[in-house]
Amino acid sequence: MKALVQLIAVSLIVSVGLLIATKFIDPPPKAGKDNVLYVYNWGEYMDPAIIKKFEKQTGIRVIYETFDSNESMLAKIKNGGTHYDVAVPSEYAIQKMAKDHLLIPIDKKKIPNLKNINPDFLNLPFDKNNQYSIPYFWGTVGILYNPANTKGIDFSSWDSLWDKRLKNNVLVVDGAREAIGFSLNSMHESLNETNPTKLAKAEKKLELLAPNVKGVVADEINTMMVQKEADVAVVWSGMGADIMTENDKLDFVVPKEGSNLWFDNIVIPKTAQNVEGAHKFINFLLDAKIGKQNTEWVGYATPNQKSYALLDKETREDERFYPKKDVQQKLEVYKDLGPENIAKYNELFLKFKMSLK
């Protein structure tokens, strides 16, 4: 009997203790679309610290997922079954998403910080009047290289990549438009070329590059270049800037034949469950100080003029990553080429990757 009484007493103490403890434990977020925000973005493309700040300010929990190409992002959203509230596609993908009715129009009244965006980055051809998208980052595609280990090679031309001295020493970013694009550029052709004969020539020229290619990779380029596994890489400008913070012996150039001028914008997919939260998040990202913090973490060029003004002078004046208007005018923005042509680009890119094995 005594043992039974002791057992009951212990049980009561444990129960009361658990009850008291639960009062001091943060409760899980309430179920409901207004308390959660699903964000779909490129890898390493947003400072986790600012997400924490947003969560603290608003009480909205952010669930953050990543993709590695516009094509994979498009496929996932178009196929349905997702409820992303915010996504960050590039300009040609935004064109396609708008055409396919996959986007919700932006309510600019809910984004007062839109005034912080440099007008040069608003009302661009891929989204007139910014009906569906808000600028996030912008940049170019170029060549990142180690000058000390590649003496005598002039990287101001795309043709430098085919130099026999670069055998097994070149990394190529894993993107069909980028790879086929620089091959087209090297032949003084458009990045938006759809002529089958010209595309076939570009792919053939890429195959000739195979002996020099160490790998076709995505975010792994960062680690490989920092660890000096290769001396040359075709990369997005911001990726180049980020790598150079860890290895200041590297340099970056946009070749003279031309290249891609790209814009990544924030959109609200049609299947969004928390449209109000999406607008709050976009406005938060456009805050001058938040934009500065995010820009410094990500490494890409910001279209936010208020954030840009807060950056250090050396960053603001680095024309490799903030090219002047006259340079920008010589570059080309990707266009939505339609499903058949995009399929052709992907087919040729796959053929190139197979030639590396």
Concatenated DSSP letters for 246-299?
T-TT-EEE--TT--BEEEEEEE-BTT-S-HHHHHHHHHHHTSHHHHHHHHHHH-
CATH 3.40.5.90 fits 36-138+263-322, yes or no: no
* Distance separating alpha carbons of residues 141 and 300, to the nearest angstrom: 12
Give one DSSP letter per residue of 73-101, joined into a string: HHHHHHT-----SEE--BHHHHHHHHHTT
Sequence spans of domains, the chain = 36-138+263-322, 139-261+333-354
Specify the pTM: 0.86
Q: Do domains 36-138+263-322 and 139-261+333-354 have the same CATH topology?
A: yes
Per-residue pLDDT of the chain (357 residues; tens, 9 = 90+): 333 334 334 444 444 443 444 333 334 344 357 899 999 999 999 999 999 999 999 999 999 999 988 989 999 999 988 899 999 999 999 999 999 999 999 999 999 999 999 999 999 999 999 999 999 999 999 999 999 999 999 999 999 999 999 999 999 999 999 999 999 999 999 999 999 999 999 999 999 999 999 999 988 999 999 999 999 999 999 999 999 999 999 999 999 999 999 999 999 999 999 999 999 999 999 999 999 999 999 999 999 999 999 999 999 999 999 999 999 999 999 999 999 999 999 999 999 999 897
The whole-number pLDDT of residue 305 equals 99
pLDDT of residue 252: 98
Whole-number Å distance between alpha carbons of 115 and 315: 22
CATH class of 139-261+333-354: alpha beta
Task: Provide the angle, in degrees to the nearest 10, between the axes of the packed helices 91-99 and 70-78.
Answer: 20
Pairing of β 86-87 and β 133-145 = unpaired
Q: Are residues 236 and 305 in contact, defined by beta-carbon separation less than 8 angstroms? A: no
Measured at the CA of 20, the angle between CA 25 and CA 56, to 5 degrees, comes to 20
Contact between residue 209 and residue 146 where contact means Cβ atoms under 8 Å apart: no
Query: 3-class DSSP state for residue 203?
Result: helix
Neighbours of 98 (CB within 10 A): 19
SS3 assignment, position 140: strand
- Calpha distance 48→39 (Å, rounded): 12
CA angle 276, 282, 285 (to 5 degrees): 140
